[in-house]
Amino acid sequence: MQRYYSVGSNMAATDETSALLRSFECEQNLLSRPDGSANVRQGDTSVLAAVYGPGEVKMSEEIIDKATLKVIFKPKIGLPGCAEKLQERLLRNTCESVVLAVLHPRSGVNIVLQVIQDSGSLLSCCINAACMALVDSAVPMKCLVSAVTCAVMEEGRIVLDPDSKQEKESSAVLTFAFDSRENNVVTCSTKGCYTPEKYQECLSACGAASRNISSFFRQAVERRMSKEL
Amino acid sequence: MPTDSRRVPGPQDSRSPHWYGKHATRQEGDTRPDGRGDHDLRPVYLHAGVVSQATGSAYIEMGQTKVIAAVYGPREIARREEFTMKGRLCCELKFATFACRRRRQHIQDNQEKDGALIVLQALEPAVCLDRFPKSQVDVYITVLQDDGSALAAAITCAAAGLADAGVMMYDIVAGCSVRQCGERQLLDPSVGEELSQEGESAEDHGMVTVGLLPSLNQVSALTLDGHLQQQTAVQAVKTCIGGCQGIYPILKDCLVTSTRKKIPALDPKSSHASTEGQNGQT
Amino acid sequence: MAADFKTAQPVEYYRRFLKEDVRPDGRELGEIRHTTLNIGSITTAEGSALVKLGNTTVICGIKAELCNPTAEEPKKGFVVPNVDLPPLCSPRFRPGPPSEQAQVVSQLMADIIENSGVVALEDLCIVEGKLCWVLYCDMMCLDYDGNVVDTCVISLLAALKNVLLPEVTVNEETGSPVTDVEKKLPLNIRKCPVATTFGVFDDHYLFTDPTNEEECLATGVLTVVTTEDNKICCMHKPGGTALSESRLQDCINRALTRAEEVRKLIDETINSVER
């Protein structure tokens, strides 16, 4: 069963920000073995996510009052190292804050993220893919989480959803993940140096863009459910 | 060389700058570089209860040698094995990467494994293992800086940690080393003396480390590297024992202080203290 | 009685305290534990610092070695930070390879060094394409009572400021390096990053500098790293409670104040050592 959705989300560009996301595509339920899967493409960046669970968990990792979440992050090339561990931790904690783990005590939910292509904004793409795969796997969730990356260019301009070239030229890259209920910041990870004022600017620009993404997620789920039912 | 994926990687290989430098000229003469006599100990600083998370811990400084030890347990044996009436003592010795002049690796090497074994041998006879069946006590020792006699310092420090943890013991253990350079016997050698070539050609040269149960006056561990004649060896061990006896009062003092701190009633500073409480220790 | 209650109902125990705007260790919500510094105590290292933040203790030793720069970046040296959380520092760590926590903190340190530009890698180059310095910054936790990230950053910065590198020249004829141990030069520290960690409890209370217990009970943590020019060089919030814009701004402001204090402490300690 495959579903394919595409959105070229156009946002009204404000004065200073070129607030355009690259084309955002999401495909759910494309793998047959896992309980849920999703492929999210933001421009040329593409991440494939698979969710297994809730299922059995290793004795040593078992938590008595909730499910154990595990994220495995697979880079496109090379062996995973420390940097990947940090990503895994970030992704796991992000998922943990939206998944209702208390409903599945003593079980495990495994999320595998395979990078297919990295052309910038990788972290936000990973978070979005993980969220869509979780939705597809029907693991109970509090709310959705949507992530947006932005780059602060040398001259101070903010570029949303930058590609790798823009990331390289920028002075800072910030990634935010927002919950879909109150649009508060769940996760934040940044690279480079920036002023607190720029931080606020980036935060509000990303916050606005994340609303678009979460409404897109909602539409995707709605359309799919209407077809299936 | 396989890279360690669990650590931040560095360049493929690198060398200490001292490798290219001129070697410092070694001081020859009767007195030791730091001006003490052949049978003098360096100043010792010993403090128990330094790691808040551990059951017991201790930190020792002997000259520039710095060692910290933490004791955890008695706790459940990690890998479940058969039921044992006797408890188990486990020892791990680690040198910090910056402990020596040459940078050490993160992965445990043979010197550390051997050292851990000797410390274990030194401590085991002192601990009442039958008091905690089917459980284990872990002793983790880290050498923060090695300026000679690190092993001896590790033994003393670990014993103080065990006592601080309240693990039942027959006696405390004190460690001391002697470096034999020909005729000379250097007690508590510094790293320069440990590595010095002096007396290498002589008949007797080597290093002796002893772990002593001071109040029972029994030797619990003995290790000897090098080449020593029988009489010299006996003499060296005797010198070590003398050194250990010298450390014993410091160990006692340190434990009294840490116990006082733990039990407010014994602390003369606290308002609770009674005059008798102060004299209750030996 | 209180101890039993704490063991049985740790969250409720904590809640009772926070209702009164105080923490079980007597601190206010925004209060940071006492910070002590000991710089240059390890003489075998090129630079070293021992930092205590309350009970949490981290020692950082920096060893400098010589190596070849990479072909891609012939003008750059290396800074290799690694955080060790040995079983010595807490019962939660077991012997063996670095735990996930250690790897995460190591990578965070590497990111902070890179983002803040505390050391310009070009400064570590001796001969372009031939010889450069590699600084192995090993941070070892000796007592794990929460908030290792802040403690590690302070120890790293203090140790870097303590580094003295021997002068190295290259012999023209043989092409091999010659070290002059007599002549030692300090490192050029470009920026001074300082981290401040916040914990969130019950999705509502925000407190600074969490202890080990508080970290276990917290529903979220946030680390803000700032430099002396009032810029943010790392903002790390790995999931947990969602925070609003205004609360994040509050954290940033508090981090800026705290960073100022720490920088003052480091400078004072270094001056007192030199005297």
| Distance between A156 CA and the closest CA of chain B, angstroms | 32
pLDDT by residue (tens digit) across B2-32?
568 889 988 888 888 887 765 554 555 667 8
Q: What is the pLDDT of residue B84?
A: 82
Mean pLDDT of B240-249: 96
Could you give the CA distance from residue B235 to residue B38 in angstroms, rounded to a whole number?
14
pLDDT by residue (tens digit) across A116-141?
999 999 999 999 999 999 999 999 99
Mean pLDDT of A82-90: 94
Confidence band of B269 (pLDDT split at 50, 70, 90): low
User: Which residue from C42, C107, C176 is facing B8, i.e. has the nearest CB?
Assistant: C107
Q: Which residues pair with B213 in a beta bridge?
A: B218
Kindly report the backbone phi and psi dihedral angles of residue B97, in degrees, each rounded to the nearest multiple of 5, phi listed first.
-60, -25
| Distance between A203 CA and the closest CA of chain B, angstroms | 30
Q: What is the pLDDT of residue B215?
A: 94
| CB B139, CB B162: distance < 8 Å | yes
Q: What is the pLDDT of residue B216?
A: 94
| Domain, as residue range, for A7 | 3-228
- Any chain A CB within 8 A of the CB of B10? no
Does the structure show a pLDDT above 70 at A52?
Answer: yes
| CB C228, CB C263: distance < 8 Å | yes
- The answer to whether the CB atoms of B70 and C89 lie below 8 A apart is yes
Contacting residues of B for A88, CB less than 8 Å apart: none
| CB C81, CB C60: distance < 8 Å | no
Distance between first and last Cα of chain B: 56
Q: Tokens 């009204």 appear where?
A: A12
Q: What is the pLDDT of residue A12?
A: 36
Helix or strand holding residue C32 (H, E): none
| CB B44, CB B53: distance < 8 Å | no
- The answer to whether the CB atoms of C82 and B22 lie below 8 A apart is no
| CB C109, CB C81: distance < 8 Å | yes
Q: Which residues pair with A217 in a beta bridge?
A: none
Q: Which residues contact C189 (CB under 8 A, 6 or more apart)?
A: C118, C119, C157, C160, C161
What is the full DSSP assignment across chain B? ----TTS----S-EE-GGGTSPPPPPP-SSS-TTS--TTPPPPEEEEE---TTSSEEEEEEETTEEEEEEEEEEEE-SS-----SS-EEEEEEEE-TTSSSSPPPSS--HHHHHHHHHHHHHHGGGB-GGGSTTEEEEEEEEEEE-SS-HHHHHHHHHHHHHHHTT--BSS--EEEEEEEETTEEEES--HHHHH--TTSSSS-EEEEEEEEETTTTEEEEEEEEEE--HHHHHHHHHHHHHHHHHHHHHHHHHHHHHHHHHSGGG-TTSTT--HHHHHT--
More confident residue, B81 or B159: B159
Q: What is the pLDDT of residue A32?
A: 92
Q: What is the pLDDT of residue A11?
A: 38
Which range is least confidently modeled, B26-30, B43-47, B63-67, B130-134? B26-30
What the block records as the tokens of C171 is 């012999």
> Per the omega criterion (within 30 degrees of 0), is the bond before C166 cis?
no
Does the structure show a pLDDT above 70 at A1?
Answer: no
Could you give the CA distance from residue B7 to residue A86 in angstroms, rounded to a whole number?
12
- The CATH number that applies at residue A54 is 3.30.230.70
Does the structure show a pLDDT above 90 at B199?
Answer: no
| Distance between A186 CA and the closest CA of chain C, angstroms | 4
- The answer to whether the CB atoms of B92 and C55 lie below 8 A apart is no
Q: What is the pLDDT of residue C243?
A: 93
Q: What is the pLDDT of residue A13?
A: 35
Confidence band of A221 (pLDDT split at 50, 70, 90): confident
Q: What is the pLDDT of residue B198?
A: 67
Query: In the CATH hierarchy, which top-level class contains the domain B36-253?
Result: alpha beta
More confident residue, B165 or C204: B165
| CB A129, CB A38: distance < 8 Å | yes
Mean pLDDT of B238-265: 92
Contacting residues of C for A203, CB less than 8 Å apart: 245, 248
Could you give the CA distance from residue B190 to residue B173 in angstroms, rounded to a whole number?
21
Q: What is the pLDDT of residue A7?
A: 45
- Any chain A CB within 8 A of the CB of C129? no
Nearest Cα residue to B219 out of B155, B138, B140: B155
| CB C6, CB C13: distance < 8 Å | yes
Mean pLDDT of B134-154: 95
Count of Cβ atoms closer than 10 Å to residue A116 Cβ: 15
User: Which segments of A75-142 are extended strands (E)?
Assistant: 108-117
Contacting residues of A for B8, CB less than 8 Å apart: 81-82
Half-sphere exposure of A11 (CA within 13 A, CB side): 24
Does the structure show a pLDDT above 50 at B278?
Answer: no
Could you give the CA distance from residue B7 to residue B75 in angstroms, rounded to a whole number?
29
Q: Which residues contact B218 (CB under 8 A, 6 or more apart)?
A: B125, B171, B212
Contacting residues of A for B78, CB less than 8 Å apart: none
- Among B19, B90, B98, most C C-beta atoms within 10 A, so best to mutate, is B98
User: Which residue from A86, A92, A177 is facing C107, i.e. has the nearest CB?
Assistant: A86
* pTM score: 0.92
pLDDT by residue (tens digit) across A19-29?
578 888 888 88
| CB A164, CB A122: distance < 8 Å | no
- Complex ipTM value: 0.93
Residues of chain C below pLDDT 50: none
| CB A156, CB A198: distance < 8 Å | yes
Mean pLDDT of B199-213: 85
Mean pLDDT of B196-220: 86
Contacting residues of C for A186, CB less than 8 Å apart: 237, 239-240, 242
Q: Which residues contact C184 (CB under 8 A, 6 or more apart)?
A: C164, C165, C166, C167
Domains in chain C (CATH in brackets) are 21-191+261-274 (3.30.230.70)
Confidence band of A2 (pLDDT split at 50, 70, 90): very low
More confident residue, B83 or A114: A114
Q: Which residues pair with C186 in a beta bridge?
A: C164
Q: What is the pLDDT of residue B33?
A: 81
- The answer to whether the CB atoms of A79 and B9 lie below 8 A apart is no
Q: What is the pLDDT of residue C275?
A: 56
| Total domains, chain A | 1
Does the structure show a pLDDT above 50 at B272?
Answer: no
In C, minimum Cα distance to B5 occurs at: C103
